[in-house]
């Protein structure tokens, strides 16, 4: 029997479902807000076309990159990564107890659950630069302010994902340990954490990648690292030196991402 | 022997009819249940006034169709599920009167083998067995085997030897077959040094050959250690071979209660009709 002769008794459903009035209104609303947002962003193709020669000129002035302050730039790069690494490690460690409190199935009390969730949400929703400004004002200029910023950032990110990983951990072993008389801490440390560990390692490595990228920007507000070097080079129109820094940042982020991916493959296999 | 209507026992003249009698019976039984009730939706009872006692050293097989309340009954006994009403005496203690600490101490004396092995997949076999000692020893020494003191590690190895898996001690639990995993779960319960053993369809997730092996091993260990056993099973053959007594649940009540030696497979099969 050829395909053309097949005649089903029931007609197939329509290719497109007619949206409800509410969904149709939502589509129109989202479309209208997008147009409004373009207007608010001062979208101007003419400005973009006018700016093209400037872009090429700037890129031209960046090359060849200057090797004049290579040692100083290298030192700042190392400091940037040190901030990111130390901030991530401390943040990840502090996230574990906070995540236990923020996991609905593990928290000792509902008030602690809401307090932990609220704190994590605060750390996550306030942008890096705001935390950096806060720490620059409170502990002074330099990499320590940057590291504290990255600790807060890591807690905001890892606290949430660690708590979710713990909530999703296999309940079977937890029930088995409960049945044999284990206490809450035994269940957390010998059943929940091992089960959540792969996901937690994954989140921690993403945090390190994120922190490396963020630590570059933190220097712009005086929180240490390579950012301040980049700002000074741009302000003084030393675009060839800026190019060196940008290439350095690119390489640093790339290396961290590659190493992180390799670690992820080795640890999580 | 006929299958009687719900709530009537064929044998079991000593079965408690009122919760008040459970206290006296509890002294001579490892498990005494009186008028146990449990409903999950508040309307249809899973367990409806179930009364039962299990003397020390007896092996009791609980049978019944899916949803008959077998697993719920076992879980209620350890308060993994809170019963709605009734009395439960385990090893002479009134389970429903225990505070959290006392309940943990009681649970430590009762091994529970689940349908799924419920091992911590990411940890070694030895660490999983060591977890059986968590109620006796708190703290990090019973979280992971490298932190455990020598006597505990040796005791865990002995438990693994009893189930024939000493060579797998360092292996990750998720690298084991289903039958091996269930044997490790049994070793974990032995590590508790239990006085009473519950098993909820312990071989249901295994193929027939592995299931037979695990059940033989399990029953042999129970016999040698003279433990009281309450197990649920859909295997009529297992209920008759490994149980001294068979209790069938149906529609929330006890539909049959008889010595295994007086039963045949055909009678038990009628429970599922």
Per-residue pLDDT of B195-207, as tens digits, reads 999 999 988 888 8
Cβ distance of B192 and A180 shorter than 8 Å: yes
Query: How far apart, in whole angstroms, are the C-alpha atoms of residue B125 and residue B188?
Result: 9
Cβ distance of B78 and A179 shorter than 8 Å: yes
What integer best gives the mean pLDDT of chain B?
A: 85
Cβ distance of A190 and B119 shorter than 8 Å: no
- What residue in B sits closest to A181 (Cα-Cα)? B104
Average pLDDT over every residue of B137-147: 87
Do A55 and A183 touch, CB atoms closer than 8 A? no
Q: Kindly give the parts of chain A with pLDDT less than 50.
A: none
Q: Which residue has the higher pLDDT, B137 or A126?
A: A126
Q: What are phi and psi of B172, to 5 degrees?
A: -70, 145
- What residue in B sits closest to A171 (Cα-Cα)? B118
Query: How far apart, in whole angstroms, are the C-alpha atoms of residue B45 and residue B155?
Result: 43
- What residue in A sits closest to B119 (Cα-Cα)? A173
In angstroms, the Cα distances linking A120 to A192, A198, A204, A208, A227 are: 20, 21, 15, 18, 27
Please name the member of B104, B120, B132 whose beta carbon is closest to the beta carbon of A183: B104
Cβ distance of B108 and A191 shorter than 8 Å: no
- The structure tokens listed for B177 are 């077959």
Kind of pairing, strands B110-113 and B93-94?
unpaired
Average pLDDT over every residue of B91-120: 91
pLDDT exceeds 80 at position B27: no
Query: How far apart, in whole angstroms, are the C-alpha atoms of residue A195 and residue B184?
Result: 18
Q: What is the length of chain B? A: 273
In angstroms, the Cα distances linking B71 to A61, A92, B76, B202 are: 76, 40, 8, 11
pLDDT tens track for A100-112: 999 998 999 999 9
Of A66-70, A225-229, B156-160, B265-269, which has the strongest mean pLDDT?
B156-160
ipTM: 0.83
Query: How far apart, in whole angstroms, are the C-alpha atoms of residue B43 and residue B40?
Result: 8
Kind of pairing, strands B253-259 and B245-250?
antiparallel
- Report angle CA B215, B220, B221 to the nearest 5 degrees: 100
Q: What are phi and psi of B79, to 5 degrees?
A: 55, 35
Average pLDDT over every residue of B96-125: 92
> Which residue from B216, B153, B142, B227 is spatially nearest to B183, judged by alpha carbons?
B216
Q: From the CA of A164, how many Å to the nearest CA of chain B?
A: 18
Q: What is the length of chain A? A: 269
A64 prior amide bond cis, ω within 30: yes
For the entire predicted model, the pTM comes to 0.80
- pLDDT, residue B175, reads 92
Question: For residue A188, what is the DSSP state?
Answer: I
- pLDDT, residue B16, reads 36
Query: How far apart, in whole angstroms, are the C-alpha atoms of residue B77 and residue B12?
Result: 20
Question: For residue A190, what is the DSSP state?
Answer: I
pLDDT exceeds 90 at position B170: yes
Token pair 């009628």: residue:
B270
């Amino acid at each position: 029997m050829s395909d053309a002769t097949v005649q089903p008794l029931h007609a197939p459903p329509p290719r497109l479902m007619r949206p409800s009035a509410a969904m149709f209104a939502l589509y129109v609303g989202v479309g209208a807000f997008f147009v409004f947002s373009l207007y608010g962003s001062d979208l101007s193709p003419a400005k973009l076309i006018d700016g093209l020669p400037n872009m090429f000129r700037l890129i031209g002035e960046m090359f060849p990159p200057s090797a004049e302050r290579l040692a100083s730039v290298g030192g700042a790069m190392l400091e940037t990564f040190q901030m990111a690494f130390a901030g991530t490690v401390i943040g990840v460690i502090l996230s574990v107890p906070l995540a236990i409190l923020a996991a609905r199935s593990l928290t000792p009390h509902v008030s602690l659950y809401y307090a932990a969730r609220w704190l994590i949400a605060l750390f996550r929703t306030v942008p890096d630069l705001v935390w950096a400004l806060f720490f620059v004002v409170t502990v002074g200029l330099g990499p320590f302010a940057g590291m504290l910023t990255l600790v807060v950032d890591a807690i905001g990110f890892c606290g949430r994902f660690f708590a979710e990983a713990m909530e999703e951990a296999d309940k079977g072993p937890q029930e088995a340990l409960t049945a044999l008389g284990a206490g809450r801490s035994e269940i957390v440390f010998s059943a929940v954490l091992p089960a959540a560990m792969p996901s937690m390692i994954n989140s921690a490595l993403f945090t390190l990648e994120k922190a490396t990228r963020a630590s570059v920007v933190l220097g712009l507000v005086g929180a240490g690292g390579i950012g301040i070097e980049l700002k000074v080079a741009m302000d003084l129109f030393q675009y060839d030196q800026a190019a060196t820094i940008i290439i350095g940042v690119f390489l640093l982020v790339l290396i961290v991402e590659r190493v992180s991916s390799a670690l992820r493959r080795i640890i999580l296999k | 022997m006929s299958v009687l209507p719900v709530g009537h026992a064929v044998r079991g003249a000593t079965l408690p009819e009122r919760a008040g009698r459970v206290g006296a019976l509890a002294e001579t039984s490892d498990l005494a249940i009186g008028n146990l009730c449990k409903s999950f939706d508040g309307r249809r009872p899973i367990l409806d006034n179930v009364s039962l006692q299990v003397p020390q050293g007896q092996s009791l097989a609980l049978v019944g169709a899916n949803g008959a309340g077998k697993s719920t009954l076992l879980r209620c006994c350890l308060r993994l599920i809170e019963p709605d009403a009734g009395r439960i005496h385990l090893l002479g203690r009134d389970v429903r009167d225990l505070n959290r600490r006392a309940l943990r101490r009681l649970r430590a004396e009762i091994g529970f083998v689940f349908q799924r092995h419920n091992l911590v997949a990411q940890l070694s076999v030895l660490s999983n067995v060591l977890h059986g000692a968590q109620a006796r020893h708190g703290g990090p020494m019973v979280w992971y085997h490298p932190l455990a003191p020598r006597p505990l590690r040796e005791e865990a190895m002995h438990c693994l030897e009893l189930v024939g898996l000493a060579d797998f001690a360092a292996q990750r639990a998720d690298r084991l077959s289903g039958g091996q995993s269930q044997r490790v779960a049994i070793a974990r319960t032995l590590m508790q040094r239990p006085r009473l053993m519950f098993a909820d369809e312990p071989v249901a997730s295994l193929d027939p050959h592995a299931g037979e092996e695990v059940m033989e091993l399990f029953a042999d260990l129970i016999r040698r250690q003279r433990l009281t056993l309450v197990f649920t099973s859909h295997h009529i053959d297992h209920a008759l071979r490994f149980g001294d007594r068979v209790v069938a649940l149906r529609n929330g009540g006890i539909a049959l209660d008889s010595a295994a030696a007086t039963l045949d497979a055909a009678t038990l099969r009628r429970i599922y009709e």
